[in-house]
Amino acid sequence: MIEEAAIGSLTIRQSKLSKSWRPRRSYDLVLTSLSWEERLTAAISDVADIIGTPIVIKFKSSSEAVESEKNRQLKRLESIIGALSPVEFSRSTDVAANFPRLETMIRDLYVQLGRPLNILLDITCFPKTYLLFLIGLGFSRDYFANCDCIYAAGHYDLATEKDEERLIGGPRSLVSEGEWRSHQIPYMTSTEFLPEQRDLVVALGGELGLSLPFIERVEPRRLRLMFIAETAPRPDLPMLTSEKSALDDLMNEPNAERIDVGLGDVIRAARAASEFARAAGSAGVVGMAIGSKTHALGLGIASLSAANMEIICRTPASYRPINVRSTGKHYVYEIQDRFDPSSYF
């Protein structure tokens, strides 16, 4: 089933992805990111016969072990797509060096073709910071007519109480290591400069303990917590003691409210954030993308339609190289600029 919604100047269509899916147009650019995760090839396998040769970004590895695993996954990807020549970037945490390179890549292709681009982005292993940067850049600068995103949901093994002491980043760090830093996403900024009051909508994942101080820095007037419905905290699901404590602290925040949104439901995530921004009145709104890439995409789409909303991502010192397998659930999101005539051809 295809679900469609208009949010701001964009139309979003979301549906399940399978080998029978066909795009509405040919692509000028197909972009993906190399990873150590096993699910790297899951979604792109569904479109391998219709996309040609993608550009594969390879962020500098944090260790030889990670580099070896990335090269192994590259061989798997090449067995599906064919020979590839990854484009080397600095470490994914080095946004100051990597953002300008990405922008130059997109702008040069736009100038070369002389029109807005039709692109396909595999967001499965694409860092959220870069996903949001590309969406903001492409649609704010009119570089994109259409951006289709494919995504393979991943299975994360739940930590147990015995894991608490051995987790490298501390008892509340599940997938990241080191101190979190915040990054405001270019092209997704608010027109409200230093508003007196700010509201906060947060897309949350599985690191509630580290999210809590991140959220408290904003001191929000209103707080909307967006959990992934399939894994949202419930009494019948196991939680680390530290995570349960952080959840209690979050829900005890004044004016906090919770919503659970399906992992694949970008449209509902975007609508929930957009409606929250509209209700803010004269206050500024911060969208904090901590959880899934799909919910981050929803926040980004909402920001492009709301002048008072900015997007912030967290960047840890590094990521734990845990293997993430595909659940077998694949999604595709077609994002179209309704006001660009070339998007209809």
Give the mean pLDDT of the chain: 88
Listed in sequence order, the DSSP H helices in the chain are 42-46, 64-81, 95-113, 128-140, 208-216, 241-251, 266-278, 293-305
For 87, phi then psi, to 5°, come to -95, 120
Q: How many CA atoms lie within 13 A of 292 on its CB side?
A: 25
Q: Is the pTM of this model over 0.85?
A: yes
User: Where is pLDDT greater, at 239 or 345?
Assistant: 239
Contacting residues for 275 by C-beta, under 8 A, at least 6 apart: none
- Give 273's pLDDT tier (boundaries 50, 70, 90): very high
Which two tokens mark 195?
Answer: 């508003």
- According to the model, what pLDDT value does residue 17 have? 97
- Mean pLDDT calculated for residue range 64-79: 95
- Mean pLDDT calculated for residue range 312-340: 85
Q: Tell me what percent of the residues of the chain surpass a pLDDT of 70.
A: 90
**Over 70: is that where the pLDDT of 168 sits?**
no
**Among the ranges given (151-165, 228-242, 275-289, 300-314), the one the predictor scored with the smallest mean pLDDT:** 151-165
By C-alpha distance, which of 155, 158, 328 is closest to 237?
Answer: 158
- Give 35's pLDDT tier (boundaries 50, 70, 90): very high
**Over 50: is that where the pLDDT of 312 sits?**
yes
Which amino acid, one-letter code, is at 144? F
Q: What is the pLDDT of residues 170-210, one digit of tens each?
A: 334 455 555 667 889 999 988 766 567 889 999 998 778 87
**Over 80: is that where the pLDDT of 165 sits?**
no
Which amino acid, one-letter code, is at 196? E
> What distance in Å separates the CA atoms of residue 177 and residue 320, rounded to the nearest whole number?
6
- Mean pLDDT calculated for residue range 267-272: 98
- According to the model, what pLDDT value does residue 179 have? 64
Domains of the chain from N-terminus onward: 3-156+322-339 (3.40.50), 164-319 (3.40.50)
- According to the model, what pLDDT value does residue 109 have? 98
